[in-house]
Amino acid sequence: MELTILALSFTLLLVLGVPVAFAIGLSSVATILAAGLPVAVVFQKMVGGMQVFSFLAIPFFIFAGELMLYGGIAERIIRFANSLVGHVRGGLGMSNVLGCTIFGGVAGSPMADVSAIGSVMIPLMKKEGYDTDYAVNVTTHASLVGAIMPTSHNMIIFTLATAGIASVSMLGLILAGLVPAIILTLCNLAAAYYVAVKRGYPTHGKFPGWAMVLTAFLAALPGLFVVVIILGGILSGAFTATESASIAVAWALFITAVVYRTLTWTNFLKACAKACKTTGVVLLLIGISSAFGYFLALYEVPQKTGELMKLVSDSPWIIFLMINVLLFILGTFLDMAATILICTPIFMPIAMQYGMDPLQFGILMLINCALGLNTPPVGTVQFVGCAIGGISVGQVMRTILPFYSALGMTLLAVTYVPAFSLWLPGLLK
């Protein structure tokens, strides 16, 4: 009875348009009242869920990304990407993909990625004669790579969502995401090139030469070095993943304020305000989801879900496919952090039961959540891209299939070829 109340109240509140965090909290309170338990249980779980030392990495990674967004790093990355592939057919689209991938590596946020690169590249592509739907689709899909890059705060959220289920290290998850990130980038490049050829987009001059590429790379290198610091520091044991986040902030401040001198006082305050707002939303979701997760465990939701799946098939291939479909559907309605926190305790034990490694499941989860960021009705990344391009979501969705296919192929590769996500972490064992 209580489980029915939890599920129905949560679904009803989402349908009514209640923000996800409040929908989770109110459905938890309704379940507590129905079960006759003290309401204080909800608040105890909320506070306990947020009192984790590792959570310090989340505001730091978010702040580092915002500093890079407002500090002018994106423009140098775009110039470097354009020097590499700007001369091929549909070169601006290819440059857009590389620029989003590189910036996603230093910012770790699809939202920051589409805001920074999209605000430059989408108007530029429109000016050069590219269709708006193409410019938006290229940008929004390429920006999703940031979800599985080393500076992604969603990786931290996933590692904490696995508490009590499996031991997942932050370093292992970072390494697990690198090869899938490369695969996704290559698939995005292929999709961008395919559409460019199909629509007859022009080339843009000749290859500028390796000297120009080197010059552009050196200009972007200080901003890119944050990834080297994080990976090098963690791999060498110099500092933990949590400490690396604070070092990323210090480096971003130094590069944008001292080296590039592009971070103004106004933009610094904007970065602080945006980081505080985003951190508040994420931590509220984490706290509320801890209470929600308590009820999922109490009423054995993972076990019951697994039993229902067994009624369909016992084949791991079919089970993994069902998990992907369910995660995709839920990801279109929920924020990325909420999807990770709610769905990891449900689906990870099932995936592990059928032989999937926790690290592999982590990348599968992050890619599915990223796909949800670019799919209505929530689709926050897509809405930002459409707002920059001045085009409706409906127009963009009509031509989205090649780019969806790129993401889908990467997801299937991660799901059914464990080596793509487990090869690098395996080198450390």
Q: pLDDT category, 252, cuts 50, 70, 90?
A: confident
What was the pLDDT predicted at 208?
Answer: 74
**pLDDT greater at residue 385 or residue 41:** 385
Mean pLDDT of the chain: 83
Task: Give the residue-averaged pLDDT of 245-266.
Answer: 86
- Output b/e per residue, 28-52; b: 16+ Cβ within 10 A: bbbbbeebeeeeebbeebbeebeee
Instruction: Give the model's confidence band at 320: pLDDT under 50 very low, under 70 low, under 90 confident, else very high.
Output: very high
Q: Which of 51-60, 261-270, 340-349, 402-411 has the lowest mean pLDDT?
A: 51-60
Whole-angstrom Cα distance, residue 279 to residue 343? 21
Q: What is the mean pLDDT of residues 305-318?
A: 84
310, two tokens:
């067994």
pLDDT bucket at 225, cuts 50 / 70 / 90: confident
Confidence at residue 417, expressed as pLDDT on a 0 to 100 scale: 93
3-state secondary structure of 154: helix
Cα separation of 275 and 58, whole Å?
10
More confident residue, 240 or 357: 357
> pLDDT class for 30, splitting at 50, 70, 90?
confident
- Count of helices and strands (H, E) across the chain: 21, 0
Nearest residue to 109 via CA among 166, 148, 52: 148
Q: Which residue has the higher pLDDT, 314 or 379?
A: 314
pLDDT at residue 271 above 70?
A: yes
Mean pLDDT of 241-246: 78
Query: In this predicted structure, what is the pLDDT of residue 230?
Result: 77
On the question of pLDDT at 422 being above 90, the answer is yes
User: What's the pTM?
Assistant: 0.85
Q: Write out the H or E segment, with its range, that includes residue 207.
A: none
Residue 137 confidence (pLDDT) above 70: yes
Please give the pLDDT value at position 357. 93
In which band, very low, low, confident or very high, does the pLDDT at 99 lie, cut at 50, 70 and 90? confident
> pLDDT band at 361, cuts 50/70/90?
very high
Q: How confident is the model at residue 414 (pLDDT cuts 50, 70, 90)?
A: very high
Least confident of 51-60, 257-266, 270-279, 369-378: 51-60
N-terminal to C-terminal alpha carbon distance within the chain: 46
Say if residues 124 and 81 touch (Cβ distance below 8 Å).
Answer: no
Long-range contacts of range 393-400, CB-CB < 8 Å, 24 or more positions apart? 395/132, 395/133, 396/133, 396/136, 396/137, 396/140, 398/133, 399/133, 399/134, 399/137, 399/195, 400/137
Portion of the chain with pLDDT greater than 70, in percent: 97
Lowest mean pLDDT segment, chosen from 69-73, 349-353, 412-416 = 69-73
- 200 has a pLDDT exceeding 80: yes
Confidence label for 54 from pLDDT (cuts 50, 70 and 90): low
Query: Does position 276 have pLDDT exceeding 70, yes or no?
Result: yes
Average pLDDT over residues 301-313: 78
Contact of 132 with 390, CB cutoff 8 Å: yes
pLDDT given at position 306: 76
Tell me, what's the pLDDT at 301? Answer: 73
Binned at pLDDT 50, 70 and 90, residue 53 comes out as low
The pLDDT of 169-196, averaged and rounded, is 91
pLDDT recorded at residue 317: 92
Q: Which pLDDT score, from 0 to 100, does residue 52 have?
A: 67
For the record, the structure tokens of 404 come out as: 């969806």
| Higher pLDDT among residues 412 and 263, named by residue | 412
What SS3 class is residue 377? coil
